[in-house]
A and B are shown apart, each in its own frame.
Chain A
Amino acid sequence: MTRNSFPQPITRQEEVEAKQKTRRVLKGFTKKRANLIPILQAVQRKLGYLPRIAMAEIAIFLDIPSVDVYEVVTFYNQFRLNPPGKHSVRVCLGTACHMKGGYITLDAWERRLKIKRGDTTPDREFDLDTVACVGCCTMAPVTVVDEKPEAKVEPTKVDGLLLAFEREKQQTSEKPQ
């Protein structure tokens, strides 16, 4: 389950914007190493994720090697390296979901979206990740799609959920005409 580091290339404009926003956030902090996690959290609140440029800026600000920032970011689940998608897909792999085939569900999502866990689709429509337990084990295997827990998500249900999103997208694009 190797996570890709930066599979999502970001545009030049996004990079400049991220740099500016990071610098603005950094103004509210002192240059103490103990501030690293609060800084990372504040930057992620602003940008939605932690691009390479933001981590490099933080490293310069705190005067620590950039790989130290990377170490912390890759250690904690709360930090993401990829821009979030429009819809979030969280596959539960808690004990009950594991027993009911959560991995099969995850495989189905990975195959359909053509991304690995922790990644975002190139069109930034979906991001895929796993969670340990969402607390509704009777519905196992659970996938939380945009805050809504979906029950008994078998591969066919994955297809169904994706089809619903596709139709929704079609309808919204037809409306203005």
Chain B
Amino acid sequence: MNQVTLTINGIRITAPEGEKLLWAALDNGIYIPNLCGLKENTEPLAACRLCFVEIQGRNKPVTACTETVTERMVVDTKGEQCLRLAKSGFELLMASHALDCGHCLKNRNCELQRIAHHLRVSLKPRILRKILRDLPVDDSHPAFIYDPNKCVLCGRCIWVCRNHVKSGVFGFAHRGFQRRVTTFGDEPMGRSDCDGCLECVRVCPTGALVERGAVPRLGRTEPVY
């Protein structure tokens, strides 16, 4: 496969032709915040609005997950504009996230914590008022527990359920602030056709989908950023 050479943050890297910028950066050890991306998915959802980068010659920041790499592309992942967009997007997500790291099974293994650390922002929203969704936690399934209050609506679980497992247990439903990942008729997961392959748990970036009986990571209860 043909390789293209590009520059990210002053570092020259090579990536296969046709690759999306986000994966080219991540594969070369350059972190860009992202939640909804899945490398296997060739049609990016571009839903999380966190992977903004600045490309020389463009007047606006673009999402790295939708941008194909080109020869001699010059990318800046630390530009003022793109970081501001990412920080605002992250703040919006955290304004309705049921933050409880101390009791969360994803603690110290959580994409949200990683992004907060990378962007040097607090996990608690600074400007926005916290509005929680207060939805019931679904622990009806024998293999996993689903907490919609920790969901960031990235859609990864829906994508793997359809494309890997060829099953359609999950989907989005309802509208606006009520929008959530749910099953047909909002029924408990335990009553759906799910066979418990746990692919969704593997891709979930937050503590919304966790394996039943998983052991929490010990250490500092809540990271101080």
Residues of A within 8 A of B (CB): 1-3, 5-6, 52, 55-56, 64-71, 74-75
Contacts and interface: CB of A to CB of B under 8 A. Distances in A.
Given A67-B173, A68-B168, A74-B174, A5 B185 contact: yes
Interface of B: 135, 162, 167-175, 178, 182-187
Nearest to B177: A1
Among A55, A64, A67, max chain B CB count under 10 A is at: A67
A52 B185 CA distance: 7
Nearest to A52: B185
Given A65-B168, A67-B170, A75 B175 contact: yes
Nearest to B133: A2
B174 A67 contact: no
A74 B175 contact: yes
A3 B162 CA distance: 26
**By DSSP majority rule, is chain A's interface helix, strand, loop, or mixed?**
helix
A65 to B, nearest CB: 2
Among B168, B169, B171, B174, max chain A CB count under 10 A is at: B171
Given A6-B185, A70-B184, A75 B168 contact: no
A120 B123 CA distance: 41
Given A66-B168, A67-B168, A68-B168, A75 B185 contact: no
23 contacts: A1-B178, A3-B174, A5-B185, A52-B184, A55-B184, A56-B184, A64-B168, A65-B167, A65-B169, A65-B171, A65-B184, A66-B168, A67-B168, A67-B170, A67-B171, A67-B182, A67-B183, A68-B171, A69-B184, A70-B171, A70-B184, A75-B173, A75-B175
A66 B167 CA distance: 11
A5 B169 CA distance: 17
A71 B158 CA distance: 12
8 closest Cβ pairs, A-B complex: A65-B168, A67-B171, A66-B184, A5-B186, A67-B184, A74-B173, A74-B174, A71-B171
A2 B178 contact: yes
Contacts of A1: 178
Among B162, B168, B175, B185, max chain A CB count under 10 A is at: B185
A55 B184 CA distance: 9
A70 B178 contact: no
Given A6-B185, A66-B184, A75-B174, 13 more contacts: A2-B135, A2-B178, A56-B184, A67-B169, A67-B183, A67-B184, A68-B171, A70-B173, A70-B185, A71-B171, A71-B173, A74-B174, A74-B175
A69 B168 CA distance: 11
Contacts of A74: 173-175
Contact of B178 (A3, A65, A66, A68): A3
Contacts of A65: 162, 167-169, 171, 184
B58 to A, nearest CB: 33
Contacts of B170: 67
A68 B173 CA distance: 8
Nearest to B183: A67
A17 B108 CA distance: 54
